[in-house]
C-alpha cells in the first residue's frame, strides 16, 4: 500500500494499544502493509533465537526505494522532499523527491565503484548538509550499512568507531560551521586514520569553500607516506562518470545502520537497526504519533549524528512522503532567539521536534516570547520534545508563548523511536507536565524493583520493557551479541532494562526521573562518565577520580570531575584544572562540555570499593540523601559536602 493510501482508523488509544499487545503478530503485519516490499512478509516475529528477536524474517525490501522512488513512481516527484536551511550561510535549498532520488542514486553508484556493496560499512562524518542525507540513503540503496559519527567527536573516538565497524569507505567534508568558527574535518579524519588499526580503502570528501585543508593536501600527504595509504577523493570527482545505482533488495533482517552510543565502560556500543522493522516503525510512527502525512512539513531540530536525526530528519519524514527540514544553525545566535520561529514561518512547519536544551536557551534569551510574536507560526500544530526530561517550567513557558500543545516524549538511541508519547495521530490525550504520557503501542512498560518484581502504582523503580521489543528497536550490538544481552537483557530476565528510573501513575502515565547508570545526558547527547574518568586518570598527577552529571538549567546535565592527586604532587591547582579540561576536550571532544573539575582529598566509597556517585550527585544537586550503610568512611563524604557544588564554569 502506498503512503498516499494510508488512513488512521477511528479508534481510541486504549483500543489500539490493546490490539498491539494482545496480538502483535497481526498488528505489525497490518502495519507492514504501509511499506512497499519486493517480497511481502507473512511472519511478523521470529523468536527462534530469543532473546535475540527478528522482525519480518521472510520479508525483502529496500529502504531507499521506500523513502524516495515509490513517491516518484506514484506521481509525486515534484513534491518537496528536503529543505536545506543554513542560518550560518544564509542559504535555503529545496530538493524535490525526484531530484533527491537522482542524487542518491548517483552517489550510490559512486560508492559502488569504490567497492561498496550489500553488507559493507560506510562511515559518514558530516555536518548538517544535504550530502549527509544523500550519503545515508545511498548506502541504504546499495544494501550497505552506514555508521554516522557526529562531527563533535574527537579523532580518538572516531578511530574507535572505525575499528569497530571496519568501513570500506569514509564520507566526510572539508569542514563544519559554528556561529563563531569553522571546524576543519580533514585533519580529524587524518588523525583518526593514524590511530585506527583498520584502514578504509577510500575517503570521499565533499569540498566546502573557506577551509584550510584540502583534498589535494590530504592526498599528497598519503602519497608521501605521512598518512595511511587510502585513496582521497573529492565528492564531485567520485560522482563524475558514475552510473546511477538501482535499489538493491535486502532481507528485512539485514542491518540498515550502526549508530554508536556511550557505554558505562567507556567503550562505544554499536546499536544495530534493521531494514524491515525500521521502515515499518518509522512509517507507523509518523502517522500515529506525530500525525504527519504526505506533503506535510516536519522539522526535527537535531543533528544527523544522533538517533533523532536518523529517525526524523532523514528516514521517517521521507518514508511518509512528507517534507523534512535540515537546519544548519543554532536555536539562538543565528542570528537571534527567533531562529526557530522564522523557520516555522518560512517552511510552513506543521510539527517541530527539538530538545529541552534548545527551549531553555531560547527562553533565556527571550523570556517573554517577543520574538515568537514577530513571526506567523500559524502552521505549527504541535511541538514535540525529547532528549532529556522536559522540566515543568520550560513546558509551561513553551506552551504559553507558542499556543500549541507541547508534547514531551521519551525514547533512546537503542529504541530508535518513542517508548512513551502522546499519540496525536490516534487520540490526543490530556498532557501532564513532567510526563512523556503513555506507552506507545507495541511497548510494554513496567517499573521493577531491584529483584525484578513489579512495584506499586506511583512507586519509583527501574523502568523496563517486556520482551520482545517492537519493530524498529535495536536487534543487537554490532559484532557483540553477548554484550547486547549483558548490557540490556541480563538485569531483568524477560525485559529490556532502559537504565532509567521512574514511576507510572494511576492513569497509566509514565514519569522518567533519571538515569540509573553512569551515562549522563548533556544537551540531549548521551555521554559516558566512565570515558571521561579514563581520560582524567591518564594525567600523571591524578591518583583516582570520579565524574558525575549534575543538574544544569540549560543543558539538563553537565559533567563535573573530582580528582584525588598522587601523594607528593604539588601542581598549582588552577594549572592542573586547565590541563585536565584540555585533556578531556582533546580526547572526548567539545561535545562533552567538560569545564568543571575540583581537587579533593578523597572520594566516598563502599566497602567493596565502589565510588558513591549517586550520593555525590544528590549532594551536588542539593537533594536530600541518605548516607549508605555500606560506606567505607563517612568522614570523607562529610568533607566533600563543601566542594561537591561544581565550581563556577570559567
Per residue in 28-45, pLDDT (tens digit) is 999 999 999 999 999 999
Q: Cell 567527536 identifies what position? A: 153
How far is residue 380 from each of residues 85, 298, 330, 346, 384, measured CA to CA in Å? 18, 10, 19, 12, 11
Q: Please give the pLDDT value at position 153.
A: 80
| Homologous superfamily (CATH) for 519-640 | ANL, C-terminal domain (3.30.300.30)
Computed from CA positions of residues 316, 415, 269, 523, in that sequence, does the dihedral angle turn out positive or negative? positive
The whole-angstrom separation of Cα 449 and Cα 451 is: 5
pLDDT category at 622 given cuts 50, 70, 90 is: confident
- The pair phi, psi for residue 482, each rounded to 5°, is -65, -40
Q: Is the pLDDT of residue 6 over 50?
A: no
The whole-angstrom separation of Cα 394 and Cα 137 is: 35
Highest mean pLDDT among 187-201, 249-263, 612-626: 187-201
pLDDT category at 102 given cuts 50, 70, 90 is: very high
Residue intervals in the chain for CATH 3.30.300.30? 519-640
Q: Which of 193-202, 232-241, 286-295, 585-594 comes out lowest in average pLDDT?
A: 585-594
**Sheet arrangement for strand 145-148:** 231-234, 202-206, 169-173, 121-125, 145-148, 255-261, 269-274, 476-477
Count, residues in the chain = 650
The whole-angstrom separation of Cα 555 and Cα 560 is: 13
- The pair phi, psi for residue 300, each rounded to 5°, is -105, 110
- Other beta carbons within 10 Å of 504: 25
Which residues in 89-103 are b (16+ Cβ under 10 Å) and which e? eeeeeebbbbbbbbb
- The pair phi, psi for residue 623, each rounded to 5°, is -90, 160
Residue of 429, 390, 396, 393 lying closest to 409 (CA atoms)? 390
Q: Is the pLDDT of residue 263 over 60?
A: no
Q: Are 131 and 206 in contact (CB under 8 A)?
A: yes
Element (H, E) at 572: none
pLDDT category at 162 given cuts 50, 70, 90 is: very high
pLDDT in tens, 202-225: 999 999 999 999 999 999 998 877
pLDDT category at 592 given cuts 50, 70, 90 is: confident
Q: Please give the pLDDT value at position 607.
A: 54
| Percent share of the chain, pLDDT over 70 | 94
Q: Please give the pLDDT value at position 27.
A: 98
Residue of 201, 244, 240 lying closest to 108 (CA atoms)? 244
pTM: 0.85
Q: Is the pLDDT of residue 650 over 50?
A: no
The whole-angstrom separation of Cα 565 and Cα 489 is: 38
Q: Is the pLDDT of residue 266 over 80?
A: no
The whole-angstrom separation of Cα 282 and Cα 276 is: 10
Q: Are 284 and 73 in contact (CB under 8 A)?
A: no
Alpha helices in 60-145 (DSSP H): 63-64, 70-71, 97-113, 130-142
Q: Are 285 and 441 in contact (CB under 8 A)?
A: no
Residue intervals in the chain for CATH 3.40.50.12780? 3-63+275-515
Q: Please give the pLDDT value at position 609.
A: 55
Q: Please give the pLDDT value at position 519.
A: 67
pLDDT in tens, 272-308: 999 999 999 999 999 999 999 999 999 999 999 999 9
The whole-angstrom separation of Cα 293 and Cα 322 is: 6
Q: At CA 184, angle to CA 181 and CA 186, rounded to 5?
A: 175
What average pLDDT does range 112-133 have in this prediction?
98
What average pLDDT does range 105-119 have in this prediction?
98
Q: Please give the pLDDT value at position 125.
A: 97
Q: Please give the pLDDT value at position 3.
A: 39
| Percent share of the chain, pLDDT over 90 | 72
Q: Are 15 and 425 in contact (CB under 8 A)?
A: no
The whole-angstrom separation of Cα 308 and Cα 412 is: 9
- Other beta carbons within 10 Å of 364: 12
Any idea what DSSP says for residue 517? S
Q: Please give the pLDDT value at position 635.
A: 79
Computed from CA positions of residues 434, 436, 437, 443, in that sequence, does the dihedral angle turn out positive or negative? negative
Q: Which of 260-264, 346-350, 611-615 comes out lowest in average pLDDT?
A: 260-264
Any idea what DSSP says for residue 83? E
What average pLDDT does range 163-172 have in this prediction?
97
What average pLDDT does range 248-255 have in this prediction?
98
pLDDT category at 391 given cuts 50, 70, 90 is: confident
Q: Cell 577510500 identifies what position? A: 202
Residue intervals in the chain for CATH 3.40.50.980? 98-251
Any idea what DSSP says for residue 469? P
Residue 523 three-state SS = coil
What average pLDDT does range 101-128 have in this prediction?
98
What average pLDDT does range 354-366 have in this prediction?
88
Residue of 247, 285, 262, 11 lying closest to 109 (CA atoms)? 247
Computed from CA positions of residues 392, 398, 401, 404, in that sequence, does the dihedral angle turn out positive or negative? negative
Residue 312 three-state SS = helix
Q: Is the pLDDT of residue 261 over 90?
A: no
Q: When comparing pLDDT for 228 and 368, which is higher?
A: 368
Provide the pairing of β-strand 382-385 with 406-408.
parallel
The whole-angstrom separation of Cα 326 and Cα 307 is: 14
Q: Is the pLDDT of residue 21 over 50?
A: yes
Cell of 246: 538501482
Residue 465 three-state SS = strand
pLDDT in tens, 400-447: 999 999 999 999 999 999 999 999 999 999 999 989 999 999 999 999
Q: Is the pLDDT of residue 630 over 60?
A: no
Question: What fold does the segment set 3-63+275-515 form as a domain?
Answer: Rossmann fold (3.40.50)
Percent helix, strand and coil across the chain, each rounded to 5?
Answer: 35, 25, 45
Q: When comparing pLDDT for 541 and 312, which is higher?
A: 312
Q: Is the pLDDT of residue 7 over 70?
A: no
Residue 486 three-state SS = helix
Say which CATH class 98-251 falls into.
Answer: alpha beta
pLDDT category at 195 given cuts 50, 70, 90 is: very high
Please give the distance of CA 440 from its chain centroid, rounded to a whole number: 19
Q: Are 604 and 636 in contact (CB under 8 A)?
A: yes
Q: Is the pLDDT of residue 188 over 90?
A: yes
Amino acid at each position: 500500500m502506498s503512503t498516499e493510501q494510508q488512513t488512521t482508523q477511528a479508534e481510541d488509544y486504549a483500543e489500539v494499544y490493546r490490539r498491539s499487545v494482545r496480538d502483535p503478530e497481526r498488528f505489525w503485519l497490518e502495519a507492514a502493509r504501509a511499506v512497499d516490499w519486493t517480497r511481502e512478509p507473512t511472519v511478523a516475529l521470529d523468536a527462534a533465537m530469543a532473546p535475540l528477536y527478528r522482525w519480518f524474517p521472510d520479508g525483502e525490501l529496500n529502504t531507499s526505494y521506500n523513502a524516495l522512488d515509490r513517491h516518484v513512481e506514484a506521481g509525486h516527484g515534484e513534491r518537496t522532499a528536503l529543505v536545506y536551511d543554513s542560518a550560518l550561510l544564509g542559504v535555503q535549498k529545496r530538493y524535490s523527491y525526484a531530484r533527491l532520488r537522482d542524487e542518491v542514486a548517483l552517489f550510490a553508484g559512486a560508492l559502488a565503484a569504490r567497492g561498496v556493496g550489500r553488507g559493507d560499512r560506510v562511515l559518514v562524518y558530516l555536518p548538517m548538509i544535504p550530502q549527509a542525507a544523500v550519503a545515508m540513503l545511498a548506502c541504504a540503496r546499495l544494501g550497505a550499512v552506514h555508521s554516522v559519527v557526529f562531527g563533535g567527536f574527537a579523532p580518538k573516538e572516531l578511530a574507535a568507531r572505525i575499528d569497530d565497524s571496519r568501513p570500506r569507505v569514509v564520507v566526510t567534508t572539508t569542514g563544519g560551521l559554528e556561529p563563531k568558527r569553522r571546524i576543519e574535518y580533514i585533519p580529524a579524519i587524518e588523525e583518526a586514520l593514524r590511530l585506527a588499526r583498520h584502514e578504509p580503502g577510500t575517503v570521499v570528501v565533499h569540498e566546502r569553500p573557506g577551509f584550510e585543508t584540502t583534498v589535494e593536501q590530504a592526498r599528497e600527504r598519503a602519497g608521501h607516506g605521512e598518512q595511511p595509504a587510502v585513496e582521497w577523493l573529492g565528492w564531485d570527482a567520485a560522482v563524475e562518470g558514475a552510473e546511477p545505482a538501482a535499489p538493491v533488495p535486502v532481507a528485512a533482517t539485514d542491518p540498515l545502520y550502526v549508530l554508536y552510543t556511550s557505554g558505562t565502560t567507556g567503550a562505544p556500543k554499536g546499536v544495530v537497526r534493521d531494514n524491515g522493522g525500521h521502515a515499518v516503525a518509522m512509517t507507523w510512527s509518523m502517522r500515529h504519533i506525530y500525525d504527519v502525512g504526505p506533503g506535510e512539513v516536519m522539522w526535527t531540530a537535531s543533528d544527523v549524528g544522533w538517533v533523532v536525526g536518523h529517525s526524523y530528519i532523514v528516514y521517517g519524514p521521507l518514508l511518509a512522503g512528507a517534507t523534512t527540514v535540515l537546519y544548519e544553525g543554532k536555536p539562538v545566535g543565528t542570528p537571534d532567539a527567533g531562529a526557530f520561529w522564522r523557520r516555522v514561518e518560512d517552511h510552513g512547519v506543521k510539527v517541530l521536534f527539538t530538545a529541552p536544551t534548545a527551549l531553555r536557551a531560547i527562553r533565556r534569551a527571550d523570556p517573554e516570547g517577543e520574538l515568537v510574536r514577530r513571526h506567523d507560526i500559524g502552521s505549527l500544530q504541535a511541538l514535540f520534545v525529547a532528549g532529556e526530561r522536559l522540566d515543568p517550567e520550560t513546558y509551561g513557558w513553551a506552551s504559553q508563548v507558542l499556543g500549541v500543545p507541547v508534547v514531551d516524549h521519551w525514547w533512546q538511541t537503542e529504541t530508535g523511536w518513542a517508548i512513551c508519547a502522546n499519540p496525536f495521530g490516534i487520540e490526543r490525550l490530556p498532557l501532564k507536565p513532567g510526563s512523556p504520557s503513555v506507552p506507545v503501542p507495541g511497548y510494554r512498560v513496567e517499573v521493577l524493583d531491584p529483584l525484578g518484581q513489579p512495584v506499586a502504582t506511583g512507586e519509583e523503580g527501574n523502568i523496563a520493557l517486556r520482551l520482545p521489543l517492537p519493530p524498529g528497536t535495536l536487534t543487537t550490538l554490532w559484532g557483540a551479541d553477548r554484550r547486547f544481552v549483558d548490557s540490556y537483557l541480563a538485569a531483568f530476565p524477560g525485559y529490556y532494562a532502559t537504565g532509567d528510573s521512574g514511576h507510572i501513575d494511576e492513569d497509566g502515565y509514565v514519569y522518567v526521573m533519571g538515569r540509573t547508570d553512569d551515562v549522563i545526558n548533556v544537551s540531549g547527547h548521551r555521554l559516558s562518565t566512565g570515558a571521561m574518568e579514563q581520560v582524567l586518570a591518564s594525567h600523571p598527577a591524578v591518583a583516582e577520580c570520579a565524574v558525575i552529571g549534575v543538574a544544569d538549567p540549560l543543558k539538563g546535565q553537565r559533567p563535573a570531575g573530582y580528582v584525588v592527586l598522587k601523594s607528593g604532587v604539588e601542581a598549582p591547582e588552577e594549572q592542573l584544572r586547565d590541563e585536565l579540561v584540555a585533556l578531556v576536550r582533546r580526547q572526548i571532544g567539545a561535545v562533552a562540555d567538560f569545564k568543571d573539575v575540583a581537587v579533593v582529598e578523597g572520594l566516598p566509597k563502599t566497602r567493596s570499593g565502589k565510588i558513591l556517585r549517586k550520593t555525590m550527585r544528590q549532594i551536588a544537586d542539593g537533594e536530600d540523601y541518605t548516607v549508605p550503610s555500606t560506606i567505607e568512611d563517612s568522614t570523607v563524604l562529610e568533607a566533600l559536602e563543601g566542594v561537591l557544588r561544581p565550581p563556577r564554569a570559567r
